[in-house]
Structure 1
Amino acid sequence: MPKVLIATEKPFAADAVQKIKAELEKAGYEYSFLENYTDKSELHNALADAEAVIIRSDIMDEEAFNSAPKLKIVVRAGAGYDNIDLKAATAHNVVAMNTPGQNSNAVAELAIGMMIYIARNKFNGKSGTELSGKTLTLYGFGWVARYVAKIAKGIGMDVYAYDPYLQDDVMLKEGVKPLHSVEDVFKLGDYISLHIPATEETKKCVNWNLLSLVKEDAVLVNTARKEIIDEEALLKVFAEKKKFRYVSDVAPDNSAEILELYPDRVFFTPKKMGAQTSEANTNAGIAAAKQIIAFFEKGDTTYKVN
């Protein structure tokens, strides 16, 4: 039976580990865990006889694939998969998958939580503002954005979304007003929430052309990837829009400079925290195990990304 490696430098929660084991044992699969490792050579050594691997933020690059001659499938337990070299995976005849939707509610709750935190001046005792009645614009309308929209509507926000890959009826079905240009996302939003992947096409796409359009007191919310932000443009918008604020689940490379200049107008989580709930952890881990089993038993490649 297939041998599965669960390679997690940041381990799954104990409950998730037990449920992953249960899924694999029920299928009769061999498995091993590599947790809390400190050097990539440990990962590469563990990959030597693996036919499937579940990862979280672990790096599967050309060197990793070269170390895994038996590997047939890699599943990233989470929505993002920029830590997998898709070209290398394809070249090595390895199917790469993610687990879309499993972490979405956790990330959405964090996005809303950061909005509330910055709206209330980081709970510094001074009067803040409410989210109710404010306009929220979503750049991208995937799983996380849909959960954000649902919560925001419950709070009383007016929600709009732009996604060039979706028809209007997808948004209308969720009670969200569709936008037809990315410029409108940045012009209209009191709160602008980013929900796009980091690809060659999208890196630094949130640039001065877009940031120059934001309202004087707009809040930019990033639970996506730091690479989609043009950091020089971010500094410029802070300087020119005196009430502009930025909250992010991943600190930009120039975070020290931003924090020094504008400490009251920014918040960054200590490390990427969007999917760091026990529920999301468990959901993504179980989904990854089930997708591996479905792949070997049925040839199912539903969530293939390469």
Structure 2
Amino acid sequence: MAKVLIATEKPFAATAVAGMKDVIEGAGNELVLLEKYTEKAQLLAAVADVDAIIIRSDKIDGEVMDAAKNLKIVVRAGAGYDNVDLAAATAHNIIVENTPGQNANAVAELVLGILVFTVRNFYNGKAGSELMGKTIGILAFGNVGRNVARVAKGFGMNVIAYDAFCPAEAIEAAGVKACASQEELFKEADIVSLHIPATAETKLSINYDLCNTMKKGAILINTARKEVIDEAGLLRLMACREDLKYITDIKPDADAEFAKFEGRYFSTPKKMGAQTAEANTNAGIAAAKQINAYFAEGCTKFQVNK
């Protein structure tokens, strides 16, 4: 029997926890909870004797792994996993997995929801514009990008995409025009929606020069990762180009500076992409099933570290 810890500073919905409990205990494993903890010491104490951990945005670093002598697997309930130290996990012989696709529809609906809010001038009573006929460029055509394409088509938008790791043929097969480069995408789109991970190659890659190639009146939307934005460069560009808008569900470090561009900037109070009851439950249940599969069959299908 494996002991599984759900460690969540921001807890799962109660219904999600109940479903995860049924899955974990139904397979003969034990489930324990650490919710709304306020100090790292609480996490370090809780991991001391567990075999598996399910997290959301919680940070699992080398210190946590040192404290977790029995730990074999960490599953991040969500797509991103930059809150887990993968190198440290590999050094400790710990499997790290994510749950790709479980939050994809929630993020896609948020993208289009914020876009409607933006093109209608943040609902300030003044006449705005429509999304129909506009071209949305999707940077990275993974689970979220594909869902953004699906929803955008429902608005009558033209959809183009670029993904360095997804063949153009696969993008075209989804009824989306494949761009040959990131630069082409930025030049052709009225709206660019970012869905890239924060990696050594992508961090600060959305910069002054790239964004300056965007069309007049273009909108940049980021529901991916804060680290991919060169905030200093984007601030400088928005000061020069009064036609550009930036909207995000990830509050920038320079939020106060961006807020000076009234009518051209919007950020949600906190990251909202996966904040739906459905996504919360889907990701949690998927994480629980993956842990069961690992202990029952040695399955590591969603492993992200090597």
| TM-score interval (norm. to shorter) | over 0.9
Give the Cα separation in 2 of the matches to 1:207 and 1:61: 29
SS at structure 1 position matched to 2:47: helix
User: What's the counterpart of residue 297 of structure 1?
Assistant: 296
The aligned counterpart of 2:272 is: 273
Give, in whole Å, the separation in 1 of the partners of 2:128 and 2:269.
24
Counterparts of 1:158-197 in structure 2, within 5 Å, are: 158-197=158-197
Q: Distance in 2 between matches of 1:82 and 1:200?
A: 12
Q: Tell me the distance in 1 between the aligned counterparts of 2:50 and 2:272.
A: 29
Residue type at the aligned position of 1:297: A
- Equivalence map 1:235-274=2 (5 Å): 235-259=235-259, 261-274=260-273
SS at match of 2:107: helix
User: Does residue 150 of structure 1 match 2:150?
Assistant: yes
Contact map agreement 1:216 1:242 (CA 8 A) in 2: no
The whole-number CA distance in structure 2 between the counterparts of 1:275 and 1:288 is 15
Structure 1 residue matching 2:96: 3-state secondary structure:
strand
Indicate the residue corresponding to 1:110 in structure 2.
110
> Matched residue pairs, number?
305
Q: CA deviation at 1:209?
A: 2.1
Contact 1:205 1:230 in 2 (8 A): yes
Describe the superposition over 1:217-236 as per-residue Cα deviations: whole angstroms up to 9, x where unpaired: 10001000110000111112
Q: Quick one: which amino acid aligns to residue 148 of structure 1?
A: V
Q: 1:9 offset after TM fit, Å?
A: 0.4
Specify the alignment match of 1:80 in structure 2.
80
The aligned counterpart of 1:47 is 47
Shifted more, 53-62 versus 210-219: the winner is: 210-219
Aligned-pair CA distance for 1:172: 1.3
Partner of 2:26 in structure 1? 26
Give the Å deviation of 1:52.
Answer: 0.2
Aligned twin of 2:135 = 135
1:12 maps to what in 2?
12
Amino acid at match of 2:227: E
Structure 2: distance between partners of 1:149 and 1:129: 20
| 1:59-78 → structure 2 map (5 Å cutoff) | 59-78=59-78
C-alpha displacement of 1:168: 1.3
User: What secondary structure, in the 3-state scheme, does the structure 2 residue paired with 1:264 have?
Assistant: coil
1:217, 1:241 within 8 Å by CA — same for their partners in 2?
no
Q: Which runs of 5+ in 2 are unaligned?
A: none
| CA-atom RMSD in angstroms | 0.7
Q: Could you tell me which runs of 5 or more consecutive residues in structure 1 were left unpaired when the two chains were aligned.
A: none
**Deviations for 1:63-121, whole angstroms, at most 9, x for unmatched residues?**
11111110000000000000000000000000000000000000110011111110000
Which range moves more in the overlay, 143-152 or 240-249? 240-249
1:163-220 deviations in Å (ceiling 9; x for gaps): 0111112111211000011101111111100010011221101112211111121000
Tell me how far apart the structure 2 counterparts of residues 215 and 94 of structure 1 sit (CA, whole Å): 46
Q: Distance in 2 between matches of 1:26 and 1:252?
A: 42
SS of the residue 2:45 aligns to:
helix
Q: 2:208 and 2:244 mapped to 1: Cα distance?
A: 14
Does residue 202 of structure 1 match 2:238? no
SS class of match (2:272): coil
Summarize deviations over 1:244-303 as a string: whole Å, max 9, x none: 0011010111110110x2021111010001000000000000000000000111111100
Secondary structure of 1:19's partner? helix
Give the AA of the match of 1:267: F
Question: Given the two structures, how large is their TM-score scaled by the length of structure 2?
Answer: 0.99
Q: Distance in 2 between matches of 1:236 and 1:182?
A: 21
1: CA distance between counterparts of 2:208 and 2:277? Answer: 38
Task: Give the stretch that moved more between structures: 236-245 or 12-21.
Answer: 236-245
Could you list the runs of 4 or more consecutive aligned residues of structure 1 that deviate by over 4 angstroms after TM superposition?
A: none
For each residue in 1:131-178, what CA deviation from the matched residue of structure 2 results, as whole angstroms up to 9, or x when unmatched?
A: 000000011001001000000011100000000111112111211000
Tell me the SS of whatever aligns to 1:88. helix
Taking the aligned partners of 1:170 and 1:14, their CA distance within structure 2 comes to: 38
Given that 1:136 and 1:192 are in contact with CA atoms closer than 8 Å, whether structure 2 keeps it comes out as: yes
Q: Distance in 2 between matches of 1:55 and 1:173?
A: 35
